[in-house]
Amino acid sequence: MRILVLNPNTTAAMTAGIRDLAEAVASPGTSIVATEPLWGPESIEGHFEGYLSAAAVLDRLTTFDEPFDALVMAGFGEPGREGAQELLDVPVLDIAESAAQMAMMLGHSYGVVTTLDRAVPQIRDRLLTAGLLARCAGVRGTGLGVLELEADRERTVEVIVATAREAVERDGAEVICLGCGGMAGLRERVSKALGGLPVVDGVAAAVKFAEALVGLGLSTSKARAFAPPRPKTITGWPLSGRRPGIR
Amino acid sequence: MRILVLNPNTTAAMTAGIRDLAEAVASPGTSIVATEPLWGPESIEGHFEGYLSAAAVLDRLTTFDEPFDALVMAGFGEPGREGAQELLDVPVLDIAESAAQMAMMLGHSYGVVTTLDRAVPQIRDRLLTAGLLARCAGVRGTGLGVLELEADRERTVEVIVATAREAVERDGAEVICLGCGGMAGLRERVSKALGGLPVVDGVAAAVKFAEALVGLGLSTSKARAFAPPRPKTITGWPLSGRRPGIR
Amino acid sequence: MRILVLNPNTTAAMTAGIRDLAEAVASPGTSIVATEPLWGPESIEGHFEGYLSAAAVLDRLTTFDEPFDALVMAGFGEPGREGAQELLDVPVLDIAESAAQMAMMLGHSYGVVTTLDRAVPQIRDRLLTAGLLARCAGVRGTGLGVLELEADRERTVEVIVATAREAVERDGAEVICLGCGGMAGLRERVSKALGGLPVVDGVAAAVKFAEALVGLGLSTSKARAFAPPRPKTITGWPLSGRRPGIR
Amino acid sequence: MRILVLNPNTTAAMTAGIRDLAEAVASPGTSIVATEPLWGPESIEGHFEGYLSAAAVLDRLTTFDEPFDALVMAGFGEPGREGAQELLDVPVLDIAESAAQMAMMLGHSYGVVTTLDRAVPQIRDRLLTAGLLARCAGVRGTGLGVLELEADRERTVEVIVATAREAVERDGAEVICLGCGGMAGLRERVSKALGGLPVVDGVAAAVKFAEALVGLGLSTSKARAFAPPRPKTITGWPLSGRRPGIR
Amino acid sequence: MRILVLNPNTTAAMTAGIRDLAEAVASPGTSIVATEPLWGPESIEGHFEGYLSAAAVLDRLTTFDEPFDALVMAGFGEPGREGAQELLDVPVLDIAESAAQMAMMLGHSYGVVTTLDRAVPQIRDRLLTAGLLARCAGVRGTGLGVLELEADRERTVEVIVATAREAVERDGAEVICLGCGGMAGLRERVSKALGGLPVVDGVAAAVKFAEALVGLGLSTSKARAFAPPRPKTITGWPLSGRRPGIR
Amino acid sequence: MRILVLNPNTTAAMTAGIRDLAEAVASPGTSIVATEPLWGPESIEGHFEGYLSAAAVLDRLTTFDEPFDALVMAGFGEPGREGAQELLDVPVLDIAESAAQMAMMLGHSYGVVTTLDRAVPQIRDRLLTAGLLARCAGVRGTGLGVLELEADRERTVEVIVATAREAVERDGAEVICLGCGGMAGLRERVSKALGGLPVVDGVAAAVKFAEALVGLGLSTSKARAFAPPRPKTITGWPLSGRRPGIR
Q: Summarize pLDDT for C63-77 with one digit per residue, the tens.
A: 898 999 999 999 999
Which H or E element spans position F35? strand F31-35
| Predicted pLDDT at B188 | 96
Each residue of A197-208: b (16+ CB within 10 Å) or e? bbbbbbbbbbbb
Which of F160, F175, F201 delimits the end of a domain? Answer: F201
| Predicted pLDDT at A48 | 96
- Tell me, yes or no, whether C59 lies in a domain: yes
- Tell me, yes or no, whether E245 lies in a domain: no
Pair (C107, C189) in one structural domain? yes
For F51, which of E54, E225, E238 is closest by C-beta distance? Answer: E54
* A109: chain F residues, CB-CB within 8 Å: 225
* A115: chain B residues, CB-CB within 8 Å: none
Pair (A21, A77) in one structural domain? yes
One-letter identity of residue C111: G
Q: Which chains touch F (3 or more CB pairs under 8 A)?
A: A, B, D, E
- Tell me, yes or no, whether A16 lies in a domain: yes
Q: Is F172 on the interface with B (CB under 8 A)?
A: yes
Size of interface C-E (CB pairs under 8 A): 4
Whole-angstrom distance, CA of residue D57 vs CA of residue D37? 5
- Tell me, yes or no, whether D232 lies in a domain: no
Q: From F81, which residue of chain A is nearest by alpha-carbon distance? A: A105
E 88-147 → A contacts, CB under 8 A: 120-121
The CATH number of the domain holding residue A193 is 3.40.50.12500
User: Out of A131-140, B232-241, C106-115, which region has the weakest mean confidence (pLDDT)?
Assistant: B232-241
- Phi/psi for F229 (5° steps) reads -55, 140
Cα–Cα separations (whole angstroms), residue D99 to D21, D112, D180, E208, E224: 14, 9, 10, 16, 20
Whole-angstrom distance, CA of residue F7 vs CA of residue F206? 13
| Predicted pLDDT at E243 | 46
Does E238 score more than 60 pLDDT? no
F107 within 8 A of A225, measured Cβ to Cβ: yes
Testing the interface with A: which of C104, C108, C169, C175 to mutate, by most A Cβ within 10 A?
Answer: C108
Burial of D151 (0-12, 13-18, 19+ CB in 10 A): exposed
Whole-angstrom distance, CA of residue F239 vs CA of residue E224? 32
Inter-chain touch D208–E216, beta carbons under 8 Å: yes
pLDDT category, C57, cuts 50, 70, 90? very high
pLDDT category, C244, cuts 50, 70, 90? very low
Q: From D36, which residue of chain C is nearest by alpha-carbon distance? A: C235
One-letter identity of residue B67: P
* E108: chain C residues, CB-CB within 8 Å: 121
Q: From D81, which residue of chain E is nearest by alpha-carbon distance? A: E105
| Predicted pLDDT at A240 | 56
Pair (C42, C120) in one structural domain? no
Cα dihedral A15, A18, A20, A25 in deg (nearest 10):
-150
Residues spanned by the domain of A120 = 96-202
Q: Summarize pLDDT for A43-85 with one digit per residue, the tens.
A: 999 999 999 999 999 999 988 989 999 999 999 999 999 999 9
* E108: chain D residues, CB-CB within 8 Å: 221, 224-226
* Triad C82, C84, C86: Cα angle to 5°: 75
* F121: chain D residues, CB-CB within 8 Å: 108-109, 172
One-letter identity of residue A25: V
Q: Summarize pLDDT for E126-152 with one digit per residue, the tens.
A: 999 999 999 999 999 999 998 899 889
Pair (E51, E131) in one structural domain? no
- Tell me, yes or no, whether B100 lies in a domain: yes
D179 within 8 A of D77, measured Cβ to Cβ: yes
- How far off is chain F from A116, nearest CA to CA, in Å? 26
- How far off is chain A from C108, nearest CA to CA, in Å? 7
Q: From D172, which residue of chain F is nearest by alpha-carbon distance? A: F121
Q: Summarize pLDDT for B122-151 with one digit per residue, the tens.
A: 999 999 999 999 999 999 999 999 889 988
- How far off is chain F from D136, nearest CA to CA, in Å? 13
Of E104, E97, E101, E103, the closest CA to residue E126 belongs to E97
Q: From D173, which residue of chain F is nearest by alpha-carbon distance? A: F121
Across chain B, mean pLDDT equals: 94
E77 within 8 A of E177, measured Cβ to Cβ: no
- How far off is chain C from B82, nearest CA to CA, in Å? 9
* B109: chain D residues, CB-CB within 8 Å: 121
Across chain C, mean pLDDT equals: 94
| Predicted pLDDT at C240 | 57
Inter-chain touch F226–A108, beta carbons under 8 Å: yes
* E109: chain C residues, CB-CB within 8 Å: 121
- How far off is chain E from F65, nearest CA to CA, in Å? 19
- How far off is chain F from A229, nearest CA to CA, in Å? 16
Of A223, A221, B121, the closest CA to residue F103 belongs to A221
Whole-angstrom distance, CA of residue E140 vs CA of residue E113? 5
Q: From E169, which residue of chain C is nearest by alpha-carbon distance? A: C117
Pair (F11, F48) in one structural domain? yes
Of E181, E74, A58, A23, the closest CA to residue B47 belongs to A58
* C109: chain A residues, CB-CB within 8 Å: 121
* B121: chain F residues, CB-CB within 8 Å: 108-109, 172
Average pLDDT over residues B212-227: 98
User: For A16, how many CA atoms within 13 A lie in the half-sphere containing its CB?
Assistant: 4
pLDDT category, E63, cuts 50, 70, 90? confident
pLDDT category, C238, cuts 50, 70, 90? low
Q: Summarize pLDDT for F110-168 with one digit per residue, the tens.
A: 999 999 999 999 999 999 999 999 999 999 999 999 889 988 999 999 999 999 999 99
Q: How many domains does chain D have?
A: 2
C213 within 8 A of C78, measured Cβ to Cβ: no
A186 within 8 A of A154, measured Cβ to Cβ: no
Does D233 score more than 50 pLDDT? yes
E 71-90 → F contacts, CB under 8 A: 79-80, 82-87
A63 within 8 A of A34, measured Cβ to Cβ: no
Inter-chain touch E212–D213, beta carbons under 8 Å: no
Inter-chain touch C130–B105, beta carbons under 8 Å: no
Testing the interface with E: which of F51, F53, F61 to mutate, by most E Cβ within 10 A?
Answer: F51
Average pLDDT over residues E66-81: 96
- How far off is chain C from B226, nearest CA to CA, in Å? 7
E3 within 8 A of E29, measured Cβ to Cβ: no
Inter-chain touch C40–D237, beta carbons under 8 Å: yes
Pair (F53, F175) in one structural domain? no
E90 within 8 A of E137, measured Cβ to Cβ: no
- Chains E+F touching (3+ CB pairs under 8 Å): yes
User: Out of A228-237, B20-29, C44-53, F6-15, which region has the weakest mean confidence (pLDDT)?
Assistant: A228-237
- Chains F+C touching (3+ CB pairs under 8 Å): no
Pair (C173, C210) in one structural domain? no
Inter-chain touch F226–A135, beta carbons under 8 Å: no
Q: Which chains touch C (3 or more CB pairs under 8 A)?
A: A, B, D, E
Q: With the C-alpha atoms ordered E53, E59, E61, E66, is the resulting torsion angle positive or negative?
A: negative
Whole-angstrom distance, CA of residue A227 vs CA of residue F170? 18
| Predicted pLDDT at C63 | 85
Q: Which chains touch E (3 or more CB pairs under 8 A)?
A: A, C, D, F
Whole-angstrom distance, CA of residue F198 vs CA of residue A125? 26
- How far off is chain A from C26, nearest CA to CA, in Å? 34
* C29: chain B residues, CB-CB within 8 Å: 28
Pair (B132, B180) in one structural domain? yes
Alpha helices in chain C (DSSP H): 12-25, 47-63, 81-87, 95-106, 119-129, 153-171, 187-193, 202-216
- How far off is chain B from D122, nearest CA to CA, in Å? 9
- Tell me, yes or no, whether D89 lies in a domain: yes
Strand partners, C93: C72
Inter-chain touch A47–B226, beta carbons under 8 Å: yes
Pair (E90, E210) in one structural domain? yes
Q: Is B42 on the interface with A (CB under 8 A)?
A: yes
- Tell me, yes or no, whether D247 lies in a domain: no
Q: Decide the pairing of beta strands D40-41 and C234-235.
A: antiparallel
ipTM exceeds 0.85, yes or no: yes
DSSP string, C127-182: HHHTT--TTEEEEEE-S--TGGGGT-HHHHHHHHHHHHHHHHHHH--SEEEE-SGG
- Tell me, yes or no, whether E71 lies in a domain: yes
* C121: chain E residues, CB-CB within 8 Å: 108-109, 172
Average pLDDT over residues F12-32: 96
C187 within 8 A of C169, measured Cβ to Cβ: no
Pair (A78, A112) in one structural domain? no
Does D240 score more than 90 pLDDT? no
pLDDT category, C243, cuts 50, 70, 90? very low
For C223, which of B29, B168, B219 is closest by C-beta distance? Answer: B168
- How far off is chain F from D97, nearest CA to CA, in Å? 23
All residue ranges of chain A with pLDDT < 50 are: 242-247
A219 within 8 A of F107, measured Cβ to Cβ: no
Strand partners, F181: none
Does B208 score more than 80 pLDDT? yes
Does C184 score more than 90 pLDDT? no
Inter-chain touch C106–B205, beta carbons under 8 Å: no
Pair (A100, A196) in one structural domain? yes
* C27: chain B residues, CB-CB within 8 Å: 27, 215
B85 within 8 A of B92, measured Cβ to Cβ: yes
Inter-chain touch D43–C232, beta carbons under 8 Å: yes
Pair (E101, E197) in one structural domain? yes
Q: From F145, which residue of chain E is nearest by alpha-carbon distance? A: E230
